[in-house]
Chain A
Amino acid sequence: MTDRALALQFLQSVLVLAGAPLLAGWVEQCRAWLGNRRGAGPLQPYRVLRKLWRKELVVAHGASWVFRGAPYVLVAAMIIAGSIVPLLAPILPLAPAADAIALVGVFALARMVSALAAMDIGTAFGSMGARREMLIGFLAEPALLMVLFTPALISHSTSLAAIVRQLAATHLLLYPSMAFAASAYVMVLLAENARLPVDNPDTHLELTMIHGALHLEYTGRHLALIEWAAAIKLVTYMAIGIALFLPWGMSATGSLSGIAFATGLLAMKMTAAGAALAFIETLLAKLRLFRVPEFLGTAFMVAVLGILVHFLLGT
């Protein structure tokens, strides 16, 4: 493990943690523009986080350590996830800590803690949100695994670093199977990050919420941590998508010029991905809850098709 790799790891973690609210703000800004609104600017999430951080913490009666501890577990899980996905160069020292399958497990851990915390305080909305979140989780996770299997089969490894090395090396070679995987991945990304058409991140209607209902009772710095974790999760999902489907431009060795180039390119990719997400969300309305299993079932089937295509066409 070289100093350069350590420095790169540090740079990536800082980028992900500090830049996550910016991406969330950028998506919101694009949504505002697409909806003919002026928008609050891409820096708004930072202001929200600062406001929440300063606010008084109100904890529900009867809340146990599960409720109090969950925001910290959430943020920790997202920091781990954000630190192992190769963003700039596939030489992260932390990357061997978890492969693609363990990454799915990290997300599952965060989801489980959220659901437990929501049920801990015993309000109707908390358990309703927990129920719906688990419904989406148990449908989205298999689809996500199927998505990850296609690149894993191509590169004969479930390690994200190995996958990226293999895919980035084959310059602009298109795998038909990856097109299926990418489509399925977008659907999973929408569902996992509580975006339209699965969940409406803007809604104030407590009865329709999924992700929002889970965290309805959180206030102050707890809520700030949860919002931050959600932003990191979005940026991590974007990063996984970029690493799997648009890995070109990453620095193979981690040279200074290579990292600088990769950082600039990543910023452009993230900007484009954020705008694309906003575009998708602007076009779609929210699905009725009982359509969500169909939506995620489709994602699963498309991902499986990707694997089949991989076997049919070979590599």
Chain B
Amino acid sequence: MPKTPWSHMRLTRLAGPLPAWQGLVDHAGWRAACARCQADGGRLVSLWGTDARHAAQGFLIHALLAWTDRLIWLTTRAGDASPHYPDVSDIFPATAREQRATADLLGLTCGSADARPWLRHDAWSAADFPLREDFTTATAADAKPYPFLRVAGDGVHEIPVGPIHAGIIEPGHFHFSVVGDDVLRLEAHLGYAHKGVEKAFGSLSLADGSRLAGRICGDSTVAYTLAYVMAVEALDGYTVPPRAQALRALLLERERIANHLGDIGALCGDGGLAFGQAQFGLLKEHWLQTHQKLFGHRYLMDTITVGGMACDLSEADGVAMTAQCRELAGALRALEEIVNDHAGLQERFLGTGTLTAEQVERYNGVGLIARAAGVGRDMRLEFPHAPYADLPVQDTRRPEGDVAARVALRFAEMHASLELVRHLLAALPDGPLASHCATTRHTRALGGAEGWRGEIFVAIERHAADGSHRVHVHDPSWQNWPLLELAATDGLIPDFPLINKSFNLAYSGHDL
């Protein structure tokens, strides 16, 4: 039998539809596993900490590794008194911000060179750790300017943008170092939308948590809810009926289409083509009105519940939806031709904000950003769960990595998703919508879904002693924000809004 890369670790299989395993390692094993995973072409999906002092285990630090065809939930102990763990940001550079966030929220340090706060602004002091179990109230901290990395040289100046912008968008600060209109460096500062979501999960029951999960990031409500309920269902051993699984995938694909429509419209608008913005806005509006009519919510909030679905689709509505999909596909082909043939717009898109596959690999980029640079990151293909295992999910990768590729990829993904919706509708299984019988009580479970931005993961840990639980939520934007900085570097300042829109990363999902 061939020796697997993780055979030296004692891994146990986690229940649930994902190929997930868990293991506990020491500090040396932590770094060794990360290095080996990286060498094997794997990636670190998420890194977070938990407070396990109630079980006399001190603090724990967790990493979710995507290692060949497995998801490995690795844990190491950080100790109790002055908790620390080994830094892995030299192996996985995108992890640096998650390590900094862990220091802000739990006070676990790793001795990395960049010890600046990340999610902590002035809402709590450096001595407060909101995710610790003995945390009560925060003491307000003195406002200190965030130390951005300085770029020195002749004619270099700095342009601070945000967190309040001229348009009504989410808060984020972008610090540009420029010469003229050329960007030498972009450094983002996020965390303005931090609202203590992970802490709030602790005060909700596991079933009620799905409503909170659906509100972390409004444009990805289906993906977040799906990832969350998948974890809860794995934890308690629910068997989700096939009809509910199919409907969930249907909603996930419809959510992807709605967001892609909005994004392409906004990209046309940012490029100055108001016609495109209006047309895609119209298509998106019709799409959302269908959601309202069939599922009771424009953005599909609370349609998925633990154990199944809260809404159904009648046969007649399914037929109408198939027709709607065909119509949309036709409209998209016509608009795609207009967008592709518009010399001015293509001039803005082509070669703007280019990412290379190497950069994406280095920063563990995921989702459509990775796919538009030729790196195949798609949970539906990498770790398929029901019903995706039986669906013809297309590989939509493109090699170019620029804004034009991200636009073209969105078009391709919409066609692919429409195809999936039609497949699902053609063979929608009959049967119950939900099952409410919990059969087991595991202590750990993992859920995940390929949202329109990329893979969203939810990890839940239940404490055996008192039944309380800790939820960790991971948004793909953690990996993709550093890539946005790389894509903007060496470009022009006035091109940044276009590059930013072509990424359209989450603030709320990242800041939590």
Contact = CB atoms under 8 A, between A and B. Distances in A.
Interface of A: 31, 34-37, 124-125, 128, 131-132, 196-197, 200, 202-209, 212, 216, 281-282, 284-291
Contacts, number: 89
A284 B165 CA distance: 26
Contacts of A203: 270, 272
30 contacts: A34-B275, A35-B274, A35-B277, A124-B159, A124-B160, A124-B161, A125-B159, A202-B269, A202-B274, A203-B270, A204-B167, A205-B167, A206-B161, A207-B159, A208-B270, A208-B494, A208-B498, A281-B274, A282-B274, A284-B273, A285-B272, A285-B273, A285-B344, A285-B345, A286-B272, A287-B344, A287-B348, A288-B494, A289-B181, A290-B181
The listed residue with most A CB atoms (<10 A of its CB), out of B165, B275, B278, is B275
Contacts of A125: 159
A284 B346 CA distance: 11
Contact of A206 (B166, B268, B273): B166
A281 B344 CA distance: 11
A203 B266 CA distance: 11
Contact of A285 (B160, B180, B347, B493): B347
A285 B348 contact: yes
B503 interface: no
Interface in B91-136: none
A216 B166 CA distance: 9
A36 B282 contact: yes
Contacts of B268: 285
A28 to B, nearest CB: 10
B492 interface: yes
B159 A289 contact: no
Contact of A289 (B269, B272, B282, B492): B492
B494 A36 contact: no
Given A205-B166, A207-B496, A208-B497, A284 B272 contact: yes
A205 B272 contact: no
B285 interface: no
The listed residue with most A CB atoms (<10 A of its CB), out of B157, B272, B497, B498, is B272
B342 interface: yes
Given A205-B167, A207-B494, A282 B348 contact: no
Given A207-B493, A207-B496, A288-B494, A35 B278 contact: yes
Contacts of A34: 275
B186 to A, nearest CB: 11
B495 interface: yes
Nearest to B279: A36
B101 to A, nearest CB: 27
B275 A128 contact: no
B497 A291 contact: no
The listed residue with most A CB atoms (<10 A of its CB), out of B181, B274, B277, B282, is B274
Nearest to A290: B492
Interface in B260-295: 268-275, 277-279, 282
Contacts of A207: 159, 161, 493-494, 496-497
Contacts of B271: 285-286
B80 interface: no
B198 interface: no
Contacts of B269: 202
A40 B182 CA distance: 38
Interface string B299-333: 00000000000000000000000000000000000
Contacts of B165: 204, 206
A281 B271 CA distance: 12
Contacts of A287: 344, 347-348
B158 interface: yes
A196 B275 CA distance: 13
Interface string B472-512: 00000000000000000000111111100000000000000
A202 B352 CA distance: 22
A206 B494 CA distance: 9
The 5 closest A-B CB pairs, nearest first, are A286-B272, A204-B167, A285-B344, A205-B497, A124-B159
Contact of B494 (A197, A202, A216, A289): A289
Contacts of A288: 347-348, 352, 492, 494-495
B278 A36 contact: yes
Contacts of B494: 207-208, 288-289
Contacts of A208: 270, 494-495, 497-498
A95 B89 CA distance: 71
B278 to A, nearest CB: 4
B155 to A, nearest CB: 12
Given A35-B278, A124-B158, A288-B492, A205 B270 contact: yes
A289 B271 CA distance: 12
B509 to A, nearest CB: 22
Contacts of A206: 161, 165-166
Nearest to A124: B159
Contacts of B347: 285, 287-288, 291
B266 to A, nearest CB: 10
Nearest to B274: A35
Given A124-B160, A285-B342, A288-B347, A200 B278 contact: no
The listed residue with most B CB atoms (<10 A of its CB), out of A131, A204, A285, A291, is A285
A284 B344 contact: yes
Given A205-B167, A284-B344, A291-B347, 4 more contacts: A204-B166, A207-B496, A282-B275, A289-B495
A197 B268 CA distance: 13
Contact of B275 (A36, A286, A289): A36
Given A124-B160, A205-B497, A286 B166 contact: no
A196 B272 contact: yes
A39 to B, nearest CB: 11
Interface string B370-404: 00000000000000000000000000000000000
Interface in B156-178: 157-161, 165-167
A100 to B, nearest CB: 31
A207 B494 CA distance: 5
A125 B495 CA distance: 15
A37 B279 CA distance: 9
B114 to A, nearest CB: 25
Contacts of A205: 166-167, 270, 497
Nearest to A206: B166
